[in-house]
């Protein structure tokens, strides 16, 4: 007999306790990853450019994130005189919160049995998981737009305007690539999508799992590129563009407010990597259906995939120059969108033929 799924109705005490533990653990892992992603990025790019990166604080600069944190914490918190106060204060929060909230639907392991209940290793299994991610990605724009507008500075405003146009254009393509995935999965729940990816590849190859990157290679590439554009990473970091706009939308920010923007950038990176891993790379499932691999717990695989993708993003930053703004728009509307649409049509055709 399989145990009952734990819910608020059958055991409120245990449910709230377990939920709190899950929330705190996931939050801690994400925040630690954010802190060390900053260190890692400086190290990786440093070594790629034959520099050493941070070396002074701790062994090979390992304490650098804490030093940075303390430094930013003790800086003067400055608000420009001409800024609109409320949007100026709201903007850093409105960019960080949507990024962190999205982590709630990422599954990080199979169900476990504890206290006689079945407990999913996921904060919340929404049956609209993918749409939830898209919805909150859409809300993430406000932080940048408001920061740009409220600072009352022309560089910040230009950054904000660029960010809006860029994110609206690329959100469409990102949404369309995901549609191709759930045409195959026939479910919007991320738990269901991961479960489907654990089956045999195309029903024949027994030890290779059915990851959607094999069936949807084009969608995978498109999603990574549009994801990068959506979180404003190089080569699409037009809203920040140090060489033209000083620091873009966060020019006028200082102290912890600036730190929040910085954290949001890395939190977004983690989220995009986690979503890509869950939708295309099998989530927490092992890369090969062999006993040695499947013995390793799911969260290790998920973290490995997330960190590899993040390394890839850093590698891209060290490799590519920033694209020009008109090139960015051309790429978004004339290449990405038609390709994503074509992918949806082809996937639909193949699904209908194979039925």
Partner 1 sequence: MEIIFFYLVALIVVISGILVVRCQSPVNSALALVNTFFCLAIYYVMLRAPFMAAVQIMVYAGAIMVLILFVIMLLNLGTEAKKRYTQGIVWSSLASLLLLVNVVYFLKRGQVTDSVGDITAYTVQSFGHTELIGKALFTEFLLPFEIASILLLVAIVGAVVLAKKDV
Interface residue list for partner 1 (CB under 8 A): 84, 86-87, 90, 126-128, 131-132, 134-139, 141-142, 145-146, 148-150, 157, 160-161, 164-165, 168, 171, 188
Is the CB of 42 or the CB of 162 nearer to partner 1? Answer: 162
DSSP track, 20-48: HHHHHHHHHHHHHHHHHHHHHHHHHHHHH
Name the minimum Å distance from CB 234 to partner 1: 23
Name the minimum Å distance from CB 135 to partner 1: 4
Angle at 267 between CA 34 and CA 42, to 5 degrees: 45
Is the CB of 101 or the CB of 246 nearer to partner 1? Answer: 101
Q: What is the Cα 260 distance to its own chain's centre?
A: 16
Is the CB of 127 or the CB of 330 nearer to partner 1? Answer: 127
Name the minimum Å distance from CB 126 to partner 1: 7
Distances (CA, A) of 129 to 287, 305, 309: 23, 20, 21
> Which 3 state secondary structure label does DSSP give 294?
helix
- Of residues 47, 148, 138, the one with CA closest to residue 98: 138
CA dihedral sign of residues 143, 149, 154, 158: positive
CB 283 within 8 A of CB 194: yes
Is the CB of 87 or the CB of 110 nearer to partner 1? Answer: 87
CB 231 within 8 A of CB 268: yes
Is the CB of 8 or the CB of 354 nearer to partner 1? Answer: 8
Name the minimum Å distance from CB 351 to partner 1: 15
Is the CB of 30 or the CB of 157 nearer to partner 1? Answer: 157
> Which 3 state secondary structure label does DSSP give 234?
coil
- CA–CA distance, 104 with 41 (Å, rounded to integer): 25
Beta strands 205-209 and 200-201, pairing class? antiparallel
Upstream peptide bond of 290 is cis (omega within 30 degrees of 0): no
Is the CB of 145 or the CB of 331 nearer to partner 1? Answer: 145
- Of residues 336, 345, 348, the one with CA closest to residue 172: 336
Is the CB of 150 or the CB of 241 nearer to partner 1? Answer: 150
Torsion angles phi and psi, residue 191, rounded to 5: -60, -45
Tokens 């759930």 belong to which residue? Answer: 182
Name the minimum Å distance from CB 261 to partner 1: 18
Name the minimum Å distance from CB 154 to partner 1: 11
What number of CA atoms fall less than 13 Å from residue 135's CA on the CB side? 7
Is the CB of 62 or the CB of 86 nearer to partner 1? Answer: 86
Name the minimum Å distance from CB 148 to partner 1: 8
Name the minimum Å distance from CB 29 to partner 1: 26
Instruction: List, in sequence order, every residue forming a beta bridge with 113; answer none if it has no partner.
Output: 118
Name the minimum Å distance from CB 75 to partner 1: 27
């Amino acid at each position: 007999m399989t145990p009952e799924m734990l819910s608020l109705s059958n055991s409120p005490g245990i449910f709230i306790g377990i939920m709190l533990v899950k929330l705190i653990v996931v939050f801690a892992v994400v925040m630690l990853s954010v802190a060390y992603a900053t260190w890692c990025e400086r190290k990786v790019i440093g070594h790629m450019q034959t520099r050493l990166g941070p070396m002074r604080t701790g062994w090979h600069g390992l304490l650098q994130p804490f030093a940075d944190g303390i430094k930013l914490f003790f800086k003067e918190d400055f608000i420009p005189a001409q800024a609109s106060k409320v949007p100026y204060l709201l903007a850093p929060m409105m960019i960080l919160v949507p990024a962190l909230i999205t982590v709630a639907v990422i599954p990080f392991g199979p169900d476990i049995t504890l206290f006689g209940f079945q407990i999913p290793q996921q904060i919340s299994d929404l049956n609209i998981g993918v749409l939830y991610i898209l919805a909150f990605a859409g809300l993430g724009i406000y932080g940048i737009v408001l920061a740009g507008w409220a600072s009352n500075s022309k560089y910040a405003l230009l950054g904000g305007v660029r960010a809006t146009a860029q994110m609206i254009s690329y959100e469409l393509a990102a949404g369309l690539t995901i549609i191709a995935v759930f045409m195959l999965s026939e479910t919007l729940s991320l738990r269901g999508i991961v479960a489907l990816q654990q089956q045999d590849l195309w029903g024949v190859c027994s030890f290779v799992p059915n990851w959607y990157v094999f069936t949807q290679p084009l969608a995978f590439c498109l999603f990574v590129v549009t994801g990068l554009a959506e979180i404003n990473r190089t080569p699409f970091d037009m809203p920040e563009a140090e060489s033209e706009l000083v620091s873009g939308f966060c020019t006028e920010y200082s102290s912890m407010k600036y730190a929040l923007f910085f954290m949001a950038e890395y939190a977004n990176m983690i989220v995009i990597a986690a979503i890509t891993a869950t939708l295309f790379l099998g989530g927490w499932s092992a890369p090969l259906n062999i006993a040695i691999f499947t013995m390793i717990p799911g969260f290790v695989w998920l973290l490995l995939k997330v960190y590899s993708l993040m390394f890839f993003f850093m590698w891209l930053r060290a490799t590519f120059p920033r694209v020009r703004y008109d090139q960015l728009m051309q790429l978004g509307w004339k290449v990405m969108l038609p390709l994503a649409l074509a992918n949806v049509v082809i996937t639909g055709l193949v699904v209908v033929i194979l039925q």
